């Protein structure tokens, strides 16, 4: 990717890098559906390979991972770990569209959490976005849905809350440490996933070759390398642009699942997805001129 984008202007390079990351991330739903392993097995191996990939590439590039031993850094890692585990569990229990769009409500929760923890100003436009987003979320619980589907939707919402907490703790950490490094938190978070899942899978660690190849792709590319690319790309784009590009993942994820396994979300889920997308997009675009110049945290 560096060779491809080396001669491009910084801003265009950032847009391409983050778009490529969204493409890699969007493949997660399909692979989770295709694999016959349970959520804990998938989470364990995917995170194990991701942690190894980030560590190996960082060391190969002659750099080191700095591990901060403070409560905020730990909260960053543990919230990231729960994002991964809860999303896989949700995707196994409900449709991929429900899982990704309900997780995608994370920016809305952040609008509530930031004024409380970081003392930012809560604005009326935030309340409008929240109302429409929650209206969209309610539609996911309409139509034909069994108990496992409801449980999956609730887990997806919890994953979105953890995503918002992860973003909040990262901002808090940067305020405390004046550091832009997040790779160490991702490595620790993936290792925590392994520790959380191990008690549930220690008697079923064996997997076949095809399962291993899919899990390797998920760990190495879909989580590991993609995050390193994203970590580079966000240096060159604004918060607004990064949020809009991230919507590619939410749109592509259920498309890949439909093409791969024929899973079709309900009409209510599609309507809810559109409302959530529009609410997040409207709130993202409704920024002041000064905010447009800020680089994403």
pLDDT tens-digit profile of 42-57? 999 999 999 999 999 9
* 86-100: pLDDT as tens digits: 999 999 998 888 888
∠ CA 193-199-69, rounded to 5°: 40
The model's pTM: 0.83
In this prediction, residue 284 carries a pLDDT of: 64
**Alpha-helix runs per DSSP H in 6-70:** 10-26, 28-34, 39-60
Average pLDDT over residues 289-297: 44
Confidence of residue 183 (pLDDT cuts 50, 70, 90): confident
Q: Does residue 296 surpass a pLDDT of 50?
A: no
User: CA distances (Å), 52 to each of 22, 59, 214, 249, in order?
Assistant: 21, 11, 16, 24
- List the domain boundaries for the chain: 8-292
* 195-247: pLDDT as tens digits: 999 999 988 888 999 999 999 999 999 999 998 888 788 777 765 566 667 77
Query: Alpha-carbon distance 260 to 243, whole Å?
Result: 27
In this prediction, residue 169 carries a pLDDT of: 85
* 54-71: pLDDT as tens digits: 999 999 988 878 777 888
In this prediction, residue 77 carries a pLDDT of: 92
In this prediction, residue 57 carries a pLDDT of: 92
Q: Does residue 24 surpass a pLDDT of 60?
A: yes
- Structure tokens given for 198: 């191990």
Is 20 or 273 the better-scoring residue by pLDDT? 20
* Contact between residue 107 and residue 128 where contact means Cβ atoms under 8 Å apart: no
Q: Does residue 293 surpass a pLDDT of 50?
A: no
Is 16 or 178 the better-scoring residue by pLDDT? 16
* Contact between residue 133 and residue 108 where contact means Cβ atoms under 8 Å apart: yes
């Amino acid at each position: 990717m560096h060779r491809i984008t080396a001669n491009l202007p910084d801003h265009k390079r950032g847009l391409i890098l983050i778009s490529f990351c969204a493409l890699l991330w969007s493949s997660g739903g399909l692979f989770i559906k295709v694999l016959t392993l349970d959520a804990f097995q998938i989470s364990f191996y995917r995170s194990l390979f991701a942690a190894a990939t980030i560590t190996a590439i960082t060391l190969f590039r002659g750099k080191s991972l700095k591990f901060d031993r403070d409560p905020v850094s730990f909260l960053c890692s543990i919230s990231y770990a729960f994002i991964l585990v809860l999303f896989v569990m949700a995707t196994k229990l409900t449709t991929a569209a429900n899982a990704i769009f309900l997780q995608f409500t994370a920016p809305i929760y952040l609008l509530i959490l930031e004024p409380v923890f970081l003392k930012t100003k809560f604005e009326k436009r935030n309340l409008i976005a929240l109302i429409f987003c929650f209206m969209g979320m309610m539609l996911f619980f309409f139509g034909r849905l069994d108990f496992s589907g409801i449980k999956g939707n609730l887990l997806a919402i919890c994953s979105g809350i953890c995503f918002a907490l992860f973003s909040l703790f990262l901002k808090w950490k940067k305020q405390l440490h004046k550091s832009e490094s997040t790779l160490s938190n991702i490595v620790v978070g993936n290792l925590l996933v392994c520790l959380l899942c191990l008690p549930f899978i220690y008697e079923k660690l064996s997997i076949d070759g095809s399962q291993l190849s899919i899990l390797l792709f998920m760990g190495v590319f879909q989580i590991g390398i993609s995050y390193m690319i994203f970590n580079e790309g966000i240096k060159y784009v604004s918060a607004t642009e990064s949020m809009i590009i991230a919507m590619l993942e939410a749109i592509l994820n259920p498309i890949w699942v439909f093409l791969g396994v024929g899973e079709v979300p309900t009409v209510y889920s599609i309507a809810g997805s559109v409302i959530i997308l529009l609410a997040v997009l409207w709130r993202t675009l409704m920024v002041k001129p000064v905010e447009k110049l800020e680089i994403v945290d």
